[in-house]
Amino acid sequence: MSTLTIESDIAAVVQSAIEKHGKKHDAFIPILSEINHVFGYVPGEAFREVRKQLIDPTERIFVAESQLFGLASFYDMLSTKPRGRHVIKFCENAPCHVVGGKAVWDTLRESLNLKNGETTPDSKWTLLTTSCLGLCSVGPVVLIDDDVYGNVTPDQLPAILERYE
């Protein structure tokens, strides 16, 4: 895809997100979420485009690219760099850890040959640790895209990953 096409795609996605969520400060995260959903991350060009389309002196809306980048880099559901087609989030908090989480984590890392935050060379998988997913009663917990797996054991991982082939 050429740069011009990417930039025009970004402009269209940003415009659509702003039309959907509005030009208020509380819309910044939903706008960035829409962009993240379409591209799989928030490209650097998107911060400039959001700023450009949000500036409205009559409504006193001003936003810096750095403010938008700060939001995108702070929230775990957003990414400022490309991720794999499937994102695996593994809960690393104590409740999951004490019921076998370390063995599940080690098996995930070994089977995908990834460290935390890495993406496979074919861009299929991204592996991330995350803080509590709020499912402590069914730990260890693995979240793949929007699918939640609880009470996961290392032996279950091959079958779970196979569902995404």
Question: For 22-56, what is each residue's pLDDT tens digit?
Answer: 988 899 999 999 999 899 899 999 999 999 998 87
* CATH assignment, 86-162: 3.40.30.10
Q: Where in the chain is the domain with CATH 3.40.30.10?
A: 86-162
User: DSSP class of residue 116?
Assistant: T
pTM of the model: 0.77
Is-contact 30 49, C-beta < 8 A?
no
Question: For 110-154, what is each residue's pLDDT tens digit?
Answer: 999 999 999 999 999 999 998 888 888 999 999 999 899 999 999
C-alpha 12/C-alpha 49 separation (Å) is 10
- 3-class DSSP state of 144: strand
Closest to 21 measured CA to CA, from 11, 12, 6, 31: 31
